Structure 1
Amino acid sequence: MQSSDPDLPQVEYEDIVSGEGTLNKDLRDKEGGKTGIKFYAGDVLYGKLRPYLMNWLYPQFNGVAVGDFWVLRATECDSSFLYRLVQTDGFQRLANVSSGSKMPRADWNLISQSFFAVPADYAEQRVIAKSLAELDNLITLHQRKRESRIIRVRSFIWLAGDISGIGVSAYQPEKRRPYDRRQHQRRNVVLRLLRAMDQRIQGRCNS
């Protein structure tokens, strides 16, 4: 059902973190009024335009999907399981057999005529969906910790280099300090230690 209700939050491609199924902003800060497909809490939004971008969302609120979205409503399975199903390799392969070259879109005729394995028991579906959600959260948390550690170390490297004169741009020779052999050696030692620390942290995060 089409809607342009300004009181409903509006979801567009640009609002979704690709591949994560999360929002990158508070939708209440957006201006309403655009026309799209009305969805309800528990529906699954799937971006059919350039499906390889992996724009999907499992909103727990009513709103309007603006743009090329499928609004999928579970009728014979649990909605949380349906949300996980659209992320599987099998679904993605079919969705990316798209029509159009410049603006490829997933083909609903192909998807609707395809078969997917779904546990008959709703409780089992919910357990599977919950387990996958917990795994996703763990992966996301791990990635964020890794990125945070690397950013902190690299910021420290830059700060230490800047303080010691390492970070002075080679394109601004007038700002260079007079050459001091001992100071230069000390800088090299500090820089090697910081680089080793950076590599060690990256190794821990990747393990």
Structure 2
Amino acid sequence: MEGWKKYSFKEIASLSKGKYNPKKEKLDLPCIELEHLESETGRLLGYTSSLLQRSTKNRFKPGDILYGKLRPYLRKYYFPNFEGVCSSEIWVLKNEKQKVYNKYLYYVIQTNRFNQNANKSSGTKMPRADWDFVSETVFPIPPFNEQYKIALILSTWDKAIELKEKLIEQKKEQKKGLMQKLLTGEVRLPGFKEEWKIVRLGEIGKTYNGLSGKSAGDFGKGKPYI
């Protein structure tokens, strides 16, 4: 590929050394924990306050990249546009080498190559990505103008996916509301005016609490079992 060069990950990114000590600092900053990062989407689900913390946290700035090193198979990452602190189980990756465009680096950590090596980690019950191993991973990197265009295309897709998923959630809520109205008689379909009957659940079917003490005869022949 013309113009592309190969770099190890440590040549295009570095781990931030910035720390936040709640015992010495009293800044009210957003604090991101692993549970605040949605798997595989790059979305922030929420955050807490740095004033509520008791342990040392990593600091990040706008344009840094966050990657969850604990249980890396969950693929938790985020591209913040604000300053804050985060769990020590989250890597804060900085683009100090200036060999890549920030947003392009954000997509590099989402590749299969990066995640495969991040998952060759230490520990079994609480696996963590090993920086010494991951940092040696080699990536082909295009020229800056191509990086920018690639990142722009992928960002556009991310926005389109997020919008589509929001629309789906809205439709789900609309369906729930319609279901409640239709199944309670609050809204009637055109052409139906007959009065509804009120019956007990036991009058229209049988319920079983587990299979203990039951035989095939209790369920009838040829009836599906769920």
For normalisation by structure 2, the TM-score amounts to 0.67
Counterpart residue identity of residue 136, structure 1: D
Question: Any idea what the Cα deviations from partners look like across 1:73-110, whole Å, max 9, x if unmatched?
Answer: 11221111111110112211111222211101112122
**1:116-155 correspondence runs (5 A):** 116-119=139-142, 121-155=143-177
Give yes or no for the alignment of 1:2 onto 2:33.
no
Distance 1:143 1:166 in 2: 39
Gapped regions of structure 1 (runs ≥ 5): 177-207
Letter in structure 1 aligned against 2:170: S
What residue is the counterpart of 2:125 in the other structure? 102
Higher mean C-alpha displacement, 15-24 vs 45-54:
15-24
Moved more, 92-101 or 1-10: 1-10
CA RMSD of aligned residues (A): 2.5
Indicate the SS of the match to 2:67: strand
Conserved 8 A contact 1:46-1:57:
yes
User: Which of 45, 68, 83 is the aligned partner of 1:24?
Assistant: 45
Question: Per-residue deviation at 1:8?
Answer: 2.6
The answer to whether the 8 Å contact 2:50/2:85 transfers is no
Number of aligned residue pairs: 170
For residue 146 of structure 1, report the CA deviation from its aligned partner. Answer: 2.2
Q: What SS does the corresponding residue of 2:91 show, helix, strand or coil?
A: strand
My pick for the range that moved more, 43-52 or 12-21, is 12-21
CA distance in 2, matches of 1:126, 1:33: 38
Q: Secondary structure at the match of 1:32?
A: helix
Query: Which of 77, 83, 94 is the equivalent residue of 1:73?
Result: 94
Which of the pair has more CA radius of gyration?
Answer: 2
Matched, 1:49 2:49: no
Larger relative contact order, structure 1 or 2 (CA cutoff 8 Å, min sep 6): 2
Equivalent position SS for 2:164: helix
Secondary structure at 1:23 match in 2: coil
Shift of 1:168: 7.7
Partner of 1:135, secondary structure, is helix
Point out 4+ residue stretches in structure 1 off by more than 4 angstroms: 164-169
- 2:191 aligned with 1:170: no
Report the equivalent of 1:113: 136
Q: 1:102 to 1:156 in 2, by over 3 A?
A: same
Tell me the TM-score normalised to structure 1 length: 0.72
- Tell me which residue corresponds to 2:220: none
Question: Partner amino acid for 2:110?
Answer: Q
Q: Is 1:9–1:32's contact at 8 Å kept on the other side of the alignment?
A: no
Q: CA contact under 8 A between 1:162 and 1:168: conserved in structure 2?
A: no
User: What amino acid is the match of 1:3?
Assistant: Y
Q: Would you say the 8 A contact 1:40–1:61 is kept in 2?
A: yes
CA distance change for structure 1 residues 166 and 154 in 2, over 3 Å: closer, same or farther?
farther
C-alpha distance after superposition, 1:146-194 (max 9, x if no partner): 23223322431232112276998726x6xx9xxxxxxxxxxxxxxxxxx
